[in-house]
């Protein structure tokens, strides 16, 4: 069989279609059809030459893992599902394309799934470990639709557009599992099928994000909170950032969570609530220092009060600044502050818009 070495224009134009098709499947929040899900699981077991299992439905991955622990289930089959339905199947199709073309298609079509969806399993395991006061030994037990839909975005393209030869039983089983199920826990005689999340919320950069509500929420109430892709404990996540308290920074030991709190609260409110010390002034600019142990290193801020609008703007600067003029110079790439003129945009004219 001759290798496929190049795509036609028509074939290349279909890449976004398959990428979006499988992204929609991966991020679906529709309730699963239990009858279709059960048939999909049975087809998956047949495809890897296993007997049909007892099927147990649950509302969240947390509930699913509790069933595993309570029943002391052993001999999970997720490795066999992955090996036979994905790894071997993918290799069979990829061999029909020239190596360079295969890499090109995968890079263009691969569905990007927010990373929090994949670390949810680690969070679940730690929560169960804490709750049950025992090691759960449950690393990577799931066969996850969100994760494996990424691979299916290009496998579907190979089958449907490039007409690669393939094993129909395996492909049908794989499509059904990912299309009709969400996460499954496959064992020798039992398969636990988890329903899809009730809500998935993202920011404009496709990171899990919600303010004052869960970023991932299941029907049984199990939730995950996230702020621009950073997983939050419930005590922060269930509170809208406008109600976050600067005092939390004084007791939060996790550096990443402190960074998120600083981002959400804003330097202006932190300065006010934590009583920032004024170090130096120059015209409408003030160099401030927050003396509390809020961050890894001292927080130095350049504050500007716009003379035209009276709006206050703050920007973090390095802690080795000795004067307001020096801080302005750092913000403006070394330009002497005497050359700066406020245009009612304040820091918007400065290139350093990201906090130090």
119-129, pLDDT tens digit by residue?
666 676 666 66
- Mean pLDDT of the region 240-253: 88
Most confident of 140-149, 202-211, 309-318: 202-211
Count of residues for the chain?
356
- pLDDT at 241 > cutoff 80: yes
Is the per-residue pLDDT at 41 higher than 60? yes
Does 356 score more than 70 pLDDT? Answer: no
Q: Is the dihedral of CA 106, 108, 110, 116 positive or negative?
A: positive
Number of H helices, E strands in the chain: 14, 12
Tell me, rounded to whole angstroms, the distance of Cα 323 from its chain centroid: 40
CB 292 within 8 Å of CB 249: yes
Residue 170 contacts residue 85 (beta carbons within 8 Å): yes
pLDDT score recorded for residue 112? 67
Q: For residue 177, is pLDDT > 80?
A: yes
* Residue 47 in this model has a pLDDT that exceeds 90: yes
93 within 8 A of 156, measured Cβ to Cβ: no
The pTM of the full predicted model, rounded to 2 decimals, is 0.76
Residue 7 corresponds to which tokens in the numbers above?
Answer: 């795509």
What is the percent of the chain with per-residue pLDDT over 70, rounded to a whole number? Answer: 83
Q: Which pLDDT band, with edges at 50, 70 and 90, does 155 fall under?
A: very high
**Helices of type H across the chain:** 9-13, 15-26, 34-47, 61-71, 78-81, 88-94, 99-109, 116-132, 145-160, 168-180, 234-237, 255-265, 267-273, 324-331
How far is 112 from 121, CA to CA, in rounded Å? 18
pLDDT exceeds cutoff 50 at 20: yes
Q: How far is CA 351 from CA 239, 261, 308, 328, 345, in A?
A: 32, 24, 21, 11, 13
In sequence order, the 6+-apart residues with CB closer than 8 A to the CB of 343 are 349
d(CA 247, CA 263): 14
The residue among 131 and 229 whose pLDDT is bigger is 229
Q: Which of residues 36 and 311 earns the better pLDDT score?
A: 36
pLDDT digits (tens, 9 = 90+) for 279-321: 999 888 989 888 766 677 788 888 887 777 766 677 788 888 8
Q: Sorting pLDDT into bands at 50, 70 and 90, what band is 249?
A: confident
pLDDT for the residue numbered 48: 94
């Amino acid at each position: 069989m001759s290798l496929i070495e190049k795509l036609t224009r028509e074939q290349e134009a279909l890449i976004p279609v398959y990428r979006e098709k499988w992204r929609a499947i991966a991020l679906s929040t529709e309730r699963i059809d239990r009858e279709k899900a059960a048939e999909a699981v049975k087809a998956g077991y047949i495809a890897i030459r296993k007997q049909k299992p007892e099927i147990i439905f649950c509302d969240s991955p947390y509930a699913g893992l509790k069933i595993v622990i309570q029943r002391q289930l052993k001999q999970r089959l997720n490795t066999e599902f992955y090996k036979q339905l994905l790894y071997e199947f993918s290799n069979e199709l990829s061999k029909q394309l020239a190596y360079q073309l295969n890499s090109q298609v995968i890079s263009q079509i691969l569905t990007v799934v927010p990373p929090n969806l994949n670390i949810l399993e680690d969070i679940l395991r730690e929560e169960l470990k804490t709750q049950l006061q025992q090691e759960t030994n449950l690393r990577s037990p799931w066969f996850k639709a969100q994760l494996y839909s990424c691979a299916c975005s290009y496998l579907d393209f190979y089958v449907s557009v490039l007409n690669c030869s393939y094993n129909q039983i395996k492909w049908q089983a794989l499509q059904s599992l990912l299309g009709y199920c969400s996460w499954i826990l496959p064992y020798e005689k039992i398969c636990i099928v988890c329903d899809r999340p009730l809500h998935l919320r993202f920011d404009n950069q496709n990171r899990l994000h919600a303010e004052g509500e869960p970023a991932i929420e299941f029907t049984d109430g199990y939730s995950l909170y996230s702020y621009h892709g950073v997983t939050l404990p419930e005590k922060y996540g269930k509170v809208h950032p406008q109600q976050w308290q600067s005092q939390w920074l004084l007791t939060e030991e996790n550096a990443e969570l402190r960074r998120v709190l600083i981002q959400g609260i804003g330097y202006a409110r932190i300065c006010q609530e934590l009583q920032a010390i004024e170090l130096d002034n120059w015209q409408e600019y003030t160099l401030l220092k927050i003396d509390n142990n809020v961050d890894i290193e001292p927080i130095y801020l350049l504050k500007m009060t716009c003379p035209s609008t009276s709006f206050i703007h703050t920007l973090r600067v390095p802690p080795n600044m000795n004067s307001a003029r020096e801080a302005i110079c750092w913000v403006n790439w070394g330009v002497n502050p005497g050359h700066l003129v406020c245009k009612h945009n304040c820091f918007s004219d400065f290139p350093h818009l990201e906090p130090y």
